[in-house]
Amino acid sequence: RHNDDDFANSQLKIVSNETDTKLANAFHVLRSNLSFLGTGGSSVSLPQVMLFTSLTPGSGRSFVSVNMASILAEDKDSRCLWIDMDLYYNRQYTGLLKEEERSGDLKGITCLLSGKAELNECIHRCAVNDSLDIMLSGPIPPNPVQLLMSERLDELMATLRNTYKYIVINSSTSSHLVEASICNRFVDLTA
């Protein structure tokens, strides 16, 4: 079990193609199994947009989602974006970012959706995987549901689908049922 706050404190590492552990193997197996979601067990392409949620905070949702994104981004032609769309916390996850991006005003998806930042200001480079980009959540908004229901989010997801081979979303816990169901309109798989 991994606490989500460990990422904010930079104590956990992302599983990468250089990692040779049982944990890395488990993520590789998960990636492989995702390709068999078609009918009759036939191999199909992986879902492009995946949303990860959990029942309770602290259950490792951020750890699983960011490591799944890292495994998906292992192939050099498979650019992946991990989005922290848990809008109830402003976790900076600075340990995930390249050293030069860890300071300053780290903008995230709430800045983008509220019109206070441009897309390029909200995309950060991952410290350990050059094919993985990171979009932080940003400041906690007073209106998370309205931001998630906005047309601006639909436009953003359409743009990101054309830019990235895979998009992995770390959603709020399913105790916030409204948010998870709202996001289902633009995802291909919810786990």
Q: What is the phi/psi pair of residue 108, to 5°?
A: -140, -165
With 90 as the cut, is the pLDDT of residue 125 above it?
A: yes
Both tokens of residue 100? 């030069």
Closest CA to 71 of 27, 38, 125: 27
Identify the band that residue 37 occupies on the pLDDT scale cut at 50, 70 and 90: low
**pTM of structure:** 0.84
pLDDT of residue 108: 94
User: Would you give the end-to-end CA distance of the chain in angstroms?
Assistant: 17
Cα–Cα distances (Å) from 191 to 27, 66, 68, 104, 180, in that order, read 14, 13, 11, 33, 11
pLDDT higher than threshold 60 for residue 8: no
* pLDDT (0 to 100) of residue 150: 93
Identify which of 151, 149, 152, 117 has the alpha carbon closest to the alpha carbon of residue 135: 117
Predicted local confidence at residue 176, as pLDDT: 57
> Region 165-178: what's the mean pLDDT?
80
